[in-house]
Amino acid sequence: MTTSNTGDSQKQIYENLISIAQLHWSHEAIEKMLPQIIQTASNLDQIMRDIPESDIEP
């Protein structure tokens, strides 16, 4: 996966997380959470890129 693709997918995840956050909290509260949301998006992006091809179960 190219760097720009990685950046795109992380941005997409970040936007999804923000959408979910808006269901829970106010705009002001979400503003304060942004560093953690960025970190979570990065973690999820890493997981998405490493999903095993095997049929391994959880």
Selection from 16, 8, 14 nearest residue 38 by Cα? 14
Which amino acid is residue 25, in one-letter code? W
* 10 neighbors 42 (Cβ within 8 angstroms): yes
Query: Which CB atom, from 7 or from 47, has the smaller least distance to other proteins?
Result: 47
Q: How far is the CB of 28 from other proteins (least distance, A)?
A: 14
Q: How far is the CB of 46 from other proteins (least distance, A)?
A: 4
Query: Which CB atom, from 5 or from 39, has the smaller least distance to other proteins?
Result: 39
Binding site for other proteins (CB under 8 A): 17, 20-21, 24-25, 33, 36-37, 39-40, 42-44, 46-52, 54, 56-58
* 10 neighbors 41 (Cβ within 8 angstroms): yes
